[in-house]
Protein backbone atom coordinates (compact mmCIF):
# COMPACT_ATOMS: atom_id res chain seq x y z
CA UNK A 1 0.00 0.00 0.00
CA UNK A 2 1.24 3.48 -0.80
CA UNK A 3 1.61 5.85 2.09
CA UNK A 4 -1.62 7.47 3.18
CA UNK A 5 -3.16 9.35 6.03
CA UNK A 6 -6.05 7.97 8.01
CA UNK A 7 -8.80 10.08 9.51
CA UNK A 8 -12.06 9.25 11.20
CA UNK A 9 -14.51 12.13 10.86
CA UNK A 10 -16.99 12.46 13.71
CA UNK A 11 -19.83 13.85 11.62
CA UNK A 12 -21.13 13.59 8.07
CA UNK A 13 -20.41 17.30 7.64
CA UNK A 14 -16.78 16.77 8.63
CA UNK A 15 -16.46 13.89 6.17
CA UNK A 16 -17.97 15.92 3.34
CA UNK A 17 -15.75 18.91 4.13
CA UNK A 18 -12.67 16.69 4.06
CA UNK A 19 -13.71 15.19 0.72
CA UNK A 20 -14.43 18.60 -0.76
CA UNK A 21 -11.11 19.99 0.44
CA UNK A 22 -9.00 17.19 -1.03
CA UNK A 23 -9.91 15.42 -4.28
CA UNK A 24 -7.33 12.70 -3.50
CA UNK A 25 -9.07 11.77 -0.24
CA UNK A 26 -11.44 8.79 -0.45
CA UNK A 27 -14.05 7.41 1.92
CA UNK A 28 -13.47 4.04 3.61
CA UNK A 29 -16.54 1.94 4.37
CA UNK A 30 -15.95 -1.71 5.30
CA UNK A 31 -12.77 -1.87 3.24
CA UNK A 32 -13.28 -5.44 2.05
CA UNK A 33 -12.85 -4.37 -1.56
CA UNK A 34 -11.05 -1.06 -1.29
CA UNK A 35 -8.25 -2.16 1.04
CA UNK A 36 -7.27 -5.07 -1.25
CA UNK A 37 -7.27 -2.59 -4.16
CA UNK A 38 -4.96 -0.28 -2.23
CA UNK A 39 -2.74 -3.18 -1.16
CA UNK A 40 -2.24 -4.09 -4.79
CA UNK A 41 -1.39 -0.46 -5.52
CA UNK A 42 -4.13 -0.28 -8.09
CA UNK A 43 -5.22 2.96 -6.53
CA UNK A 44 -3.60 5.70 -4.50
CA UNK A 45 -5.23 8.05 -2.03
CA UNK A 46 -3.98 10.92 0.11
CA UNK A 47 -6.30 10.24 3.03
CA UNK A 48 -8.71 7.46 3.89
CA UNK A 49 -11.77 8.85 5.65
CA UNK A 50 -13.15 6.09 7.86
CA UNK A 51 -16.94 6.51 7.89
CA UNK A 52 -17.52 4.17 10.83
CA UNK A 53 -17.92 7.03 13.31
CA UNK A 54 -20.90 8.67 11.60
CA UNK A 55 -23.66 6.60 13.20
CA UNK A 56 -24.74 5.08 9.89
CA UNK A 57 -24.95 1.44 11.01
CA UNK A 58 -28.70 1.37 11.53
CA UNK A 59 -31.70 -0.70 10.45
CA UNK A 60 -35.16 0.85 10.82
CA UNK A 61 -38.54 -0.47 9.81
CA UNK A 62 -41.25 1.98 8.82
CA UNK A 63 -44.80 1.13 7.79
CA UNK A 64 -43.89 0.13 4.26
CA UNK A 65 -40.09 0.11 4.04
CA UNK A 66 -36.85 -1.04 5.59
CA UNK A 67 -34.24 1.71 5.83
CA UNK A 68 -30.65 0.54 6.19
CA UNK A 69 -27.78 2.87 7.07
CA UNK A 70 -24.89 2.86 4.62
CA UNK A 71 -22.36 1.52 7.14
CA UNK A 72 -24.49 -1.47 8.15
CA UNK A 73 -22.52 -4.66 7.63
CA UNK A 74 -23.73 -7.60 5.55
CA UNK A 75 -23.62 -9.67 8.72
CA UNK A 76 -25.91 -7.26 10.58
CA UNK A 77 -28.40 -7.24 7.69
CA UNK A 78 -28.39 -11.04 7.51
CA UNK A 79 -28.96 -11.33 11.25
CA UNK A 80 -31.61 -8.60 11.51
CA UNK A 81 -34.97 -9.96 12.65
CA UNK A 82 -36.68 -7.01 10.94
CA UNK A 83 -35.03 -7.63 7.58
CA UNK A 84 -35.64 -11.36 7.78
CA UNK A 85 -39.32 -10.81 8.47
CA UNK A 86 -39.94 -8.05 5.93
CA UNK A 87 -37.56 -8.85 3.04
CA UNK A 88 -36.29 -12.41 3.46
CA UNK A 89 -34.58 -12.30 0.08
CA UNK A 90 -32.39 -9.40 1.22
CA UNK A 91 -31.38 -11.17 4.44
CA UNK A 92 -30.51 -14.27 2.41
CA UNK A 93 -28.45 -12.22 -0.04
CA UNK A 94 -26.51 -10.48 2.73
CA UNK A 95 -25.80 -13.76 4.52
CA UNK A 96 -24.37 -15.22 1.34
CA UNK A 97 -21.75 -12.56 0.61
CA UNK A 98 -18.13 -13.63 0.99
CA UNK A 99 -17.61 -15.37 4.32
CA UNK A 100 -18.34 -14.58 7.97
CA UNK A 101 -15.28 -12.39 8.42
CA UNK A 102 -15.97 -10.39 5.25
CA UNK A 103 -19.61 -10.00 6.32
CA UNK A 104 -18.48 -8.69 9.70
CA UNK A 105 -16.73 -5.76 7.97
CA UNK A 106 -18.22 -5.20 4.50
CA UNK A 107 -21.09 -2.72 4.24
CA UNK A 108 -24.11 -2.21 2.04
CA UNK A 109 -23.11 1.37 1.25
CA UNK A 110 -19.64 0.35 0.18
CA UNK A 111 -20.99 -2.41 -2.02
CA UNK A 112 -23.49 -0.14 -3.78
CA UNK A 113 -21.00 2.70 -4.27
CA UNK A 114 -18.45 0.30 -5.75
CA UNK A 115 -21.00 -1.39 -8.06
CA UNK A 116 -18.82 -4.39 -8.82
CA UNK A 117 -20.47 -6.26 -11.72
CA UNK A 118 -20.42 -9.43 -9.60
CA UNK A 119 -21.55 -7.90 -6.30
CA UNK A 120 -24.83 -9.04 -4.79
CA UNK A 121 -26.32 -5.89 -3.25
CA UNK A 122 -26.93 -4.05 -6.55
CA UNK A 123 -29.32 -6.86 -7.56
CA UNK A 124 -31.43 -6.40 -4.41
CA UNK A 125 -31.47 -2.62 -4.71
CA UNK A 126 -32.61 -2.79 -8.34
CA UNK A 127 -35.17 -5.57 -7.94
CA UNK A 128 -36.69 -4.06 -4.82
CA UNK A 129 -36.86 -0.57 -6.35
CA UNK A 130 -34.77 0.85 -3.54
CA UNK A 131 -34.04 4.51 -3.03
CA UNK A 132 -30.42 5.42 -2.31
CA UNK A 133 -30.27 8.43 -0.02
CA UNK A 134 -27.09 10.48 -0.10
CA UNK A 135 -25.90 13.57 1.72
CA UNK A 136 -27.59 15.70 -0.94
CA UNK A 137 -30.42 13.81 -2.70
CA UNK A 138 -32.41 10.63 -3.14
CA UNK A 139 -31.58 8.47 -6.16
CA UNK A 140 -33.86 5.71 -7.45
CA UNK A 141 -32.00 2.44 -7.95
CA UNK A 142 -33.10 2.53 -11.61
CA UNK A 143 -31.04 5.70 -12.04
CA UNK A 144 -28.14 4.73 -9.75
CA UNK A 145 -26.24 1.93 -11.53
CA UNK A 146 -24.50 3.22 -14.66
CA UNK A 147 -22.44 0.22 -15.73
CA UNK A 148 -19.46 -1.69 -14.32
CA UNK A 149 -18.05 0.14 -11.29
CA UNK A 150 -19.99 3.27 -12.32
CA UNK A 151 -22.78 4.95 -10.37
CA UNK A 152 -24.70 8.23 -10.36
CA UNK A 153 -22.75 9.36 -7.29
CA UNK A 154 -20.69 12.54 -7.56
CA UNK A 155 -17.03 12.04 -6.60
CA UNK A 156 -17.54 13.70 -3.22
CA UNK A 157 -21.05 12.35 -2.57
CA UNK A 158 -21.70 9.88 0.25
CA UNK A 159 -24.49 7.34 0.59
CA UNK A 160 -26.27 7.80 3.90
CA UNK A 161 -28.89 5.07 3.73
CA UNK A 162 -30.86 2.79 1.45
CA UNK A 163 -34.63 2.50 1.65
CA UNK A 164 -36.23 -0.76 0.48
CA UNK A 165 -40.00 -0.84 -0.06
CA UNK A 166 -41.31 -4.02 1.54
CA UNK A 167 -42.41 -6.41 -1.23
CA UNK A 168 -45.11 -9.07 -1.16
CA UNK A 169 -42.36 -11.64 -1.67
CA UNK A 170 -38.67 -11.78 -2.55
CA UNK A 171 -35.82 -14.19 -3.11
CA UNK A 172 -32.24 -14.34 -4.30
CA UNK A 173 -30.48 -17.22 -6.00
CA UNK A 174 -26.79 -17.18 -6.74
CA UNK A 175 -24.46 -19.44 -8.65
CA UNK A 176 -21.22 -18.76 -6.83
CA UNK A 177 -17.73 -18.80 -8.14
CA UNK A 178 -16.44 -21.61 -5.93
CA UNK A 179 -13.23 -19.77 -5.06
CA UNK A 180 -14.18 -16.12 -4.69
CA UNK A 181 -17.85 -16.65 -3.67
CA UNK A 182 -18.74 -13.77 -5.97
CA UNK A 183 -21.82 -14.25 -8.11
CA UNK A 184 -21.17 -15.82 -11.49
CA UNK A 185 -24.85 -15.21 -11.87
CA UNK A 186 -27.14 -13.87 -9.17
CA UNK A 187 -30.83 -13.20 -9.70
CA UNK A 188 -32.99 -11.24 -7.27
CA UNK A 189 -36.74 -11.46 -7.77
CA UNK A 190 -39.33 -9.39 -5.93
CA UNK A 191 -43.03 -8.81 -6.26
CA UNK A 192 -43.38 -5.36 -4.83
CA UNK A 193 -45.46 -2.19 -5.04
CA UNK A 194 -44.27 -1.62 -8.62
CA UNK A 195 -45.03 -5.15 -9.75
CA UNK A 196 -42.65 -8.05 -10.28
CA UNK A 197 -39.01 -7.12 -10.82
CA UNK A 198 -36.06 -9.28 -11.76
CA UNK A 199 -32.48 -8.03 -11.41
CA UNK A 200 -29.43 -9.93 -12.59
CA UNK A 201 -25.89 -9.47 -11.31
CA UNK A 202 -22.60 -11.16 -12.18
CA UNK A 203 -23.65 -11.80 -15.76
CA UNK A 204 -24.00 -8.58 -17.73
CA UNK A 205 -21.11 -6.73 -19.30
CA UNK A 206 -22.81 -3.51 -18.25
CA UNK A 207 -23.17 -4.65 -14.64
CA UNK A 208 -26.47 -5.28 -12.89
CA UNK A 209 -29.57 -5.15 -15.11
CA UNK A 210 -33.32 -5.75 -15.04
CA UNK A 211 -34.75 -8.60 -17.09
CA UNK A 212 -37.71 -6.91 -18.83
CA UNK A 213 -39.01 -10.02 -20.58
CA UNK A 214 -39.13 -12.00 -17.34
CA UNK A 215 -40.80 -9.13 -15.51
CA UNK A 216 -43.51 -8.97 -18.19
CA UNK A 217 -44.12 -12.71 -17.92
CA UNK A 218 -44.23 -12.62 -14.12
CA UNK A 219 -46.71 -9.73 -14.20
CA UNK A 220 -49.12 -12.12 -15.94
CA UNK A 221 -48.37 -15.05 -13.68
CA UNK A 222 -45.86 -14.97 -10.80
CA UNK A 223 -44.64 -18.54 -11.15
CA UNK A 224 -41.49 -20.33 -12.23
CA UNK A 225 -43.43 -21.86 -15.11
CA UNK A 226 -44.25 -18.43 -16.50
CA UNK A 227 -40.59 -17.69 -17.18
CA UNK A 228 -39.53 -21.18 -18.24
CA UNK A 229 -39.55 -20.22 -21.92
CA UNK A 230 -38.32 -16.64 -21.57
CA UNK A 231 -35.04 -16.35 -23.43
CA UNK A 232 -31.93 -14.52 -22.18
CA UNK A 233 -29.63 -13.25 -24.90
CA UNK A 234 -25.96 -14.15 -24.55
CA UNK A 235 -24.97 -11.08 -26.52
CA UNK A 236 -24.25 -8.77 -23.59
CA UNK A 237 -23.13 -11.44 -21.13
CA UNK A 238 -19.71 -11.70 -19.55
CA UNK A 239 -17.60 -14.53 -20.94
CA UNK A 240 -14.43 -15.39 -19.04
CA UNK A 241 -12.31 -18.22 -17.67
CA UNK A 242 -15.13 -19.19 -15.30
CA UNK A 243 -17.90 -19.49 -17.87
CA UNK A 244 -18.82 -18.48 -21.41
CA UNK A 245 -21.45 -15.86 -22.23
CA UNK A 246 -23.86 -18.59 -23.35
CA UNK A 247 -23.31 -20.48 -20.09
CA UNK A 248 -24.09 -17.37 -18.06
CA UNK A 249 -27.20 -16.64 -20.15
CA UNK A 250 -28.42 -20.15 -19.42
CA UNK A 251 -27.68 -19.74 -15.71
CA UNK A 252 -29.77 -16.56 -15.60
CA UNK A 253 -32.84 -18.60 -16.54
CA UNK A 254 -32.05 -21.36 -14.05
CA UNK A 255 -31.38 -18.98 -11.17
CA UNK A 256 -34.47 -16.89 -11.94
CA UNK A 257 -36.75 -19.94 -11.98
CA UNK A 258 -35.33 -21.21 -8.70
CA UNK A 259 -35.67 -17.77 -7.13
CA UNK A 260 -39.32 -17.42 -8.17
CA UNK A 261 -40.14 -20.95 -7.11
CA UNK A 262 -38.90 -20.39 -3.55
CA UNK A 263 -39.80 -16.70 -3.19
CA UNK A 264 -40.86 -15.99 0.38
CA UNK A 265 -43.37 -13.53 1.74
Partner 1 sequence: MLTCSVNGTSQSVAVEGRTLLVEFLREKLGLTGTHVGCDTSQCGACVVHVNGRSVKSCTMLALQAESAAITTIEGLAAPDGALHPMQAAFRDHHGLQCGFCTPGMVMSALDLLAQNPQGLSDREIREGLEGNLCRCTGYHNIVRAVSAAQSALRETDRQAA
Contact set with partner 1 (CB under 8 A): 1-6, 8, 28, 31-32, 35-36, 38-39, 47-48, 50, 52, 75, 98-102, 104-105, 179-181
DSSP 8-state assignment for residue 228: T
Name which of 13 and 46 has its Cβ closer to partner 1.
46
- Minimum gap (Å) between residue 32 Cβ and partner 1: 6
- Minimum gap (Å) between residue 186 Cβ and partner 1: 17
Burial annotation 91-126 (CB, 10 A radius, 16+ → b, else e)? bbbbbbbbeeebbebbbbbbbbbbbbbbbbbbbbbb
Name which of 102 and 224 has its Cβ closer to partner 1.
102
- Assign 253 to helix, strand or coil: helix
d(CA 148, CA 95): 23
DSSP 8-state assignment for residue 132: E
Strand partners, 151: 145
Pairing of the two strands 159-165 and 169-176: unpaired
Name which of 210 and 242 has its Cβ closer to partner 1.
242
Name which of 76 and 199 has its Cβ closer to partner 1.
76
H or E stretch including 89? helix 88-94
Name which of 32 and 134 has its Cβ closer to partner 1.
32
- Minimum gap (Å) between residue 57 Cβ and partner 1: 13
- Minimum gap (Å) between residue 91 Cβ and partner 1: 15
H or E stretch including 184? strand 183-192
Burial annotation 224-249 (CB, 10 A radius, 16+ → b, else e)? bebbeebebebeebbeeebbebebbb
- Minimum gap (Å) between residue 100 Cβ and partner 1: 5
- Minimum gap (Å) between residue 27 Cβ and partner 1: 13
Name which of 62 and 101 has its Cβ closer to partner 1.
101
Amino acid sequence: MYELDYAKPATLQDALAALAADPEARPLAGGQTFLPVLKQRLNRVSTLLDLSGLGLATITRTADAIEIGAMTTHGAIAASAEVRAAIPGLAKLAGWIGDTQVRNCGTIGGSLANNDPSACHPAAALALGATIRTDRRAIAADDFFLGMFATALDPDELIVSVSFPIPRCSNYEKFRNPASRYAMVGVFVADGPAGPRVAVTGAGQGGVFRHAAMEAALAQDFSAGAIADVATSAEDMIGDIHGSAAYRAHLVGVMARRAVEAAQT
